[in-house]
A and B are shown apart, each in its own frame.
Chain A
Amino acid sequence: MSSIVAALSDGAVVAKRNVIKIVRVPEVLVFVLMSPIMFVLLFAYVFGDSISVPGGSGYREFLIAGIFAQTVLFGATWTGAGLAEDMQKGIINRFKSLPMSRSAVLVGRTGSDVIYNVLSIAIMSITGLVVGWRIRGSILEAIAGYAVLLLFAYAVSWLMAYIGLLVPSVEVINQASFMVLFPLTFIANTFVPSDNLPTALRTVAEWNPVSSVTQASRELFGNIPEGTPEPSAWPLQHAALYTLIWVVLIIAVFAPLAVRQYKRTSAR
């Protein structure tokens, strides 16, 4: 128990340092906030009229939850890149020589990166409202919708933390995660209904956790209009539950792996 307390209190010190960095190096923040705006506008206006979605409520309403899911997933890359940078600069070595909790650097990093996700979701929500997206469910449901997105992002942060320590190069992290995340966000129901996909891809899309995150937030924001056919796949029928299972699974696997890698790793 005391080790959890130590991880949290030392983690808070590390998180505070990361927050100071967010403010002092605002270039990262600008990028974090600009790219979701760009995505919302691009998809809404470029594809908006060419893609038809079931229920007839319009593509923009359908699109926003997909953009949310894609953005928080890509946002997790910052966790890996941040750790890789700290490793390259020798800061991790300094932390490792201090009598602090062995998981605090990771707890602090994944914790402070939630701020990026909260900010980018807030910006996207505003942009979404401007282009015609609306929250049609209750406030509680909307809060739950945001919570599902943030939890999923938090879990993926741990995966990226592991990769960031394994491959301590910011450039490699960015390239590698793009190669994995890009297909992951496209072979899903993020931008087109998964029913429109060829059978093989459709199965992948239905079991892809990015789809269930998207589906869960669409449901909770009330963006699935009356008369939309019920999804046939189990993960999409129980989208929130299926997402939470992934969240628990990813953290259970990658948090211990990341901590183990932290203990092993050294800048030289």
Chain B
Amino acid sequence: MNEIVRAEGLVKRFGDVVALDGLDLAVPEGTVLGLLGPNGAGKTTAVSILTTLLEPDEGTAMVAGADVRTQPGQVRERIGLSGQYAAVDEALTGFENLDMIGRLYHLGRTRSRRRATELLERFSLTDAANRPVKTYSGGMRRRLDLAGALVAEPPVLFLDEPTTGLDPRSRLDLWALIRELVARGTTLLLTTQYLEEADQLADDILVVDHGRAIAHGTADDLKQQVGGERIEVVTSAEHVERVSDVLRPYACGDLQVDRNVGRVLAPTRGGPKALREVLADLDTVAVDVRDVGLRRPTLDDVFLTLTGHKAEANGDGDGSRAGESVANDPCDDDAVAVAPLTPPTPSDAPEEAL
């Protein structure tokens, strides 16, 4: 398929901090690529380079047939960007914001106004069109920001953490809008910290850590890799062993035990039925049970599995290792389609593997 965004070997340093360390990525036309990673992984830097806000120190990138380095003007004509910080002007009304963007895309007065009205209608902002943006809710601002990225109907769209900080309802609204855009054929590159969001929206997910890709695959691939659902039991420290004994028969793979917080995780395919049986078994042995649940894999689980460390808040190279073991035998019988691009660090010896 025709790759409408392609980047090779992107490197960007800010002083001593290496924000991007040889990132490659490709987005086929009409598909959605999710860049998944914690804060400081380099997602925003990658988007900034692809949208010509920053120049890379090394590497090349082509967007919609133009080189970001040598033809930035052409790139800008063919992309839309909606940033991590809602980049709309608070003092201006929704209409004024979109009209201004249209004028700066050189649509001309009439087209620009018509487009602003259309987009406000489509994003359910018509009632608020003539109110200053500072009176908008967080969800309305994000919708307006997204509308701003669509003014020139660009073939390629970049969304940098489009739903960070939104309440669940607004997040669902925004997801629906994004799906609609993609259905109309827009190519999308989106960054997110949420596995669920990548799962909902992206055809293809690139997991990024410390400025480089550490895994690449579909959401299902990644979930298989991290072992799907787990049964989680939180107990007191002295009962961890007994709880582990109860869980072991239900686990298809190694248990993960965190003695500090008294938590035992068992990969499972049994779903709620297995959970019910575990609860019954826990009743027969006298143990403290503080919490029990069926957990879906999170970004932390993906990172734990792929790198052996938790998703970190910053891009520090050798950050602290969590005292948890790596599930080295994911519970599935299919071939694991995800190829970790860097092997788990050997120094992360499982401390408490059972």
Interface residues of A (CB under 8 A from B): 10, 13-14, 16-17, 20-21, 24-25, 89-91, 93-100, 104, 264, 266-268
Q: B72-80, B214-222, B299-307: which one contacts chain A?
A: B72-80
Interface flag for B90 (CB, 8 Å): yes
Query: B87: which A residues are within 8 A, CB to CB?
Result: 89-91, 93-94
Interface residues of B (CB under 8 A from A): 44-45, 48, 51-55, 73, 76-77, 79-81, 83-92, 96, 100-101, 103-106, 132, 148
- Among A24, A95, A266, A267, point to the contact of B104 (Cβ < 8 A): A95
Name A88's closest neighbour in chain B (CB-CB): B85
* Additional A-B contact list (20), CB under 8 Å, known A17-B92, A17-B100, A94-B88: A13-B100, A17-B89, A21-B89, A21-B91, A21-B92, A24-B91, A25-B91, A89-B85, A89-B89, A89-B90, A94-B81, A94-B87, A94-B101, A97-B79, A97-B80, A98-B101, A100-B104, A104-B104, A264-B55, A266-B53
Query: A95: which B residues are within 8 A, CB to CB?
Result: 104
Contact B104 A91 (CB under 8 A): no
Minimal beta-carbon separation of A66 from chain B (angstroms):
34
Contact A97 B53 (CB under 8 A): yes
Q: How far is the CA of A114 from the CA of B102 in the complex (A)?
A: 25
Q: How far is the CA of A24 from the CA of B80 in the complex (A)?
A: 28
Query: B103: which A residues are within 8 A, CB to CB?
Result: 13
Name B75's closest neighbour in chain A (CB-CB): A99
Contact A99 B53 (CB under 8 A): no
Q: How far is the CA of A241 from the CA of B104 in the complex (A)?
A: 38
Minimal beta-carbon separation of A89 from chain B (angstroms):
7
Contact B54 A90 (CB under 8 A): no
Minimal beta-carbon separation of B69 from chain A (angstroms):
12
Query: B101: which A residues are within 8 A, CB to CB?
Result: 94, 98
Contact A20 B96 (CB under 8 A): yes
Minimal beta-carbon separation of A195 from chain B (angstroms):
48
- Among B52, B77, B86, point to the contact of A90 (Cβ < 8 A): B86
Minimal beta-carbon separation of A78 from chain B (angstroms):
15
Query: B77: which A residues are within 8 A, CB to CB?
Result: 99
Contact B54 A266 (CB under 8 A): yes
Q: How far is the CA of A139 from the CA of B148 in the complex (A)?
A: 48
Contact B81 A97 (CB under 8 A): yes
- Among B44, B51, B79, B100, point to the contact of A268 (Cβ < 8 A): B44
Please give me the 3 A-B residue pairs with the lowest Cβ-Cβ distance, nearest first.
Answer: A94-B87, A90-B87, A90-B85
Indicate whether A96 sits within 8 Å of B52 (C-beta atoms), given known contacts A20-B91, A90-B86, A268-B44.
yes
Q: How far is the CA of A170 from the CA of B91 in the complex (A)?
A: 17
Minimal beta-carbon separation of A267 from chain B (angstroms):
7
Indicate whether A268 sits within 8 Å of B45 (C-beta atoms), given known contacts A10-B104, A94-B148.
yes
A-B contact pairs, 17 of them (CB 8 A): A13-B103, A20-B92, A20-B96, A21-B92, A24-B91, A25-B91, A89-B85, A89-B87, A89-B89, A91-B87, A93-B87, A94-B101, A97-B53, A99-B77, A264-B55, A267-B85, A268-B45
Minimal beta-carbon separation of A105 from chain B (angstroms):
10
- Among A14, A24, A267, A268, point to the contact of B132 (Cβ < 8 A): A24
Minimal beta-carbon separation of B108 from chain A (angstroms):
11
Q: How far is the CA of A21 from the CA of B129 in the complex (A)?
A: 17
Contact A91 B48 (CB under 8 A): no
Query: A267: which B residues are within 8 A, CB to CB?
Result: 85
Name A24's closest neighbour in chain B (CB-CB): B91
Q: How far is the CA of A114 from the CA of B48 in the complex (A)?
A: 32
- Of B45, B51, B79, B103, which is in contact with the most chain A CB atoms at under 10 Å from its CB? B103
- Of A14, A25, A89, A99, which is in contact with the most chain B CB atoms at under 10 Å from its CB? A99
Q: How far is the CA of A4 from the CA of B350 in the complex (A)?
A: 64
Name B45's closest neighbour in chain A (CB-CB): A268
Contact A268 B91 (CB under 8 A): no
Name B106's closest neighbour in chain A (CB-CB): A99
Query: B45: which A residues are within 8 A, CB to CB?
Result: 268
Query: A99: which B residues are within 8 A, CB to CB?
Result: 73, 76-77, 104-106
Name B80's closest neighbour in chain A (CB-CB): A97
- Among B79, B80, B96, B105, point to the contact of A17 (Cβ < 8 A): B96
Query: A10: which B residues are within 8 A, CB to CB?
Result: 104
Query: B104: which A residues are within 8 A, CB to CB?
Result: 10, 13-14, 95, 98-100, 104
Name B55's closest neighbour in chain A (CB-CB): A264
Minimal beta-carbon separation of A212 from chain B (angstroms):
37
Query: B100: which A residues are within 8 A, CB to CB?
Result: 13, 16-17
Contact A268 B96 (CB under 8 A): no
Minimal beta-carbon separation of B299 from chain A (angstroms):
20
Minimal beta-carbon separation of B94 from chain A (angstroms):
13
Indicate whether A97 sits within 8 Å of B51 (C-beta atoms), given known contacts A90-B86, A91-B87.
yes
Contact B52 A97 (CB under 8 A): yes
Q: How far is the CA of A267 from the CA of B44 in the complex (A)?
A: 10
Indicate whether A96 sits within 8 Å of B53 (C-beta atoms), given known contacts A25-B91, A91-B89, A268-B44.
yes
Q: How far is the CA of A171 from the CA of B164 in the complex (A)?
A: 27
Query: A264: which B residues are within 8 A, CB to CB?
Result: 55
Name B73's closest neighbour in chain A (CB-CB): A99
Query: B53: which A residues are within 8 A, CB to CB?
Result: 93, 96-97, 266
Q: How far is the CA of A97 from the CA of B105 in the complex (A)?
A: 10
Minimal beta-carbon separation of B183 from chain A (angstroms):
24
Q: How far is the CA of A95 from the CA of B51 in the complex (A)?
A: 11
Name B44's closest neighbour in chain A (CB-CB): A268
Q: How far is the CA of A99 from the CA of B66 in the complex (A)?
A: 13
Minimal beta-carbon separation of B50 from chain A (angstroms):
10
Query: A93: which B residues are within 8 A, CB to CB?
Result: 48, 53, 81, 83, 85, 87
Query: B54: which A residues are within 8 A, CB to CB?
Result: 266
Query: A266: which B residues are within 8 A, CB to CB?
Result: 48, 53-54
Contact A90 B83 (CB under 8 A): yes
